Structures are given as C-alpha cells and as structure tokens.
Amino acid sequence: MNKYFGSCLCGTVKFEVKGEFESFYLCHCHYCQKDTGAAYAANLFSQSAELIWHSGADVVTSFTLPGTRHNMSFCTLCGSALPDTQIAGLLVLPAGCLDTDINMLPTAHIFSSSKAAWDLELQELPTFAGLPD
C-alpha cells in the first residue's frame, strides 16, 4: 500500500494518505480557475484511499459553491488547498499539497471547453529554473 504525505504552505496542516489514486485530472472549469488563480486545478481522486490528519485539522475548512457539487477545502491560516472529502466516498486531493512524489501522470484534461484563452501553446514559452533576472 502506498503512503503519501502532504501539508499546507504554512506547515500547520499535515496529513497522510494511505492507498491508491484512481485518476489524476487537470480541470479547466471556471470554478477551478477561480479556486486556484491558475489555468486549471490538478487533482488526484480516490474512492478507496484513507486520509489521516496528523496536525492542523482544526484549521481546515471547506467551501461548497451553492447550487453545485463544486467544493474545496483549505487551510484558514495560509489558504493552501487541501484534501477534500465533502463528496461521500470520494477523496479529492490537490496534487500541489503533496510533499511526497507521485509516480502517476495526469489521466486527462477535463472541462477543456472552459480553458483559459491564454492557456494555449505554453510549451513554446521560455523556461527558467528560477525567477528570471
């Protein structure tokens, strides 16, 4: 059984996931763009993995957009996206909150009809290892 460890940006929240992820989606819907402030959200999904909070569970809160199934969990101190279990039987884990490497590549892009206009042919942009001079 695989074990993955993760945390929020400020380090208050720490967690462990025991088990496997069935899918890894890059979601381009407008809701995920708002949640992340980016072109898409990168989320891992599991119907069988176990989430264990090691610290900071008391500062984790969730938001569900009224009238939708769209929800997210985050640290109330630093705002980092965190694992969400608001849909019964489904763990949704933002890939960026993991401290452990995963060996799974994204399964698919979803809601590509909502893709940001500026999120095209980005592979042609210059690449820097850090902040450019």
Residue 58, SS3 per DSSP: helix
> What's residue 43's pLDDT?
96
Determine the pLDDT at residue 52.
96
Q: Structural domains in the chain? A: 3-114 (2.170.150.70)
Given a contact cutoff of 8 angstroms between Cβ atoms, the answer to whether 20 and 46 are in contact is: yes
Residue spans of beta strands (DSSP E) within the chain = 3-7, 14-18, 23-27, 41-46, 50-55, 60-64, 71-75, 81-82, 91-94, 108-110
> Which pLDDT belongs to residue 94?
97
Provide the pLDDT for residue 15. Answer: 98
DSSP-derived 3-state class of residue 23? strand
pLDDT < 70 positions in the chain:
none
Query: Which has the closest alpha carbon to 93: 6, 2, 3?
Result: 6
Give residue 119's pLDDT.
84
pLDDT in tens, 85-118: 888 899 999 999 999 999 999 999 999 999 898 8
**What's the pLDDT score for residue 132?**
87
At residue 92, the pLDDT reads 95
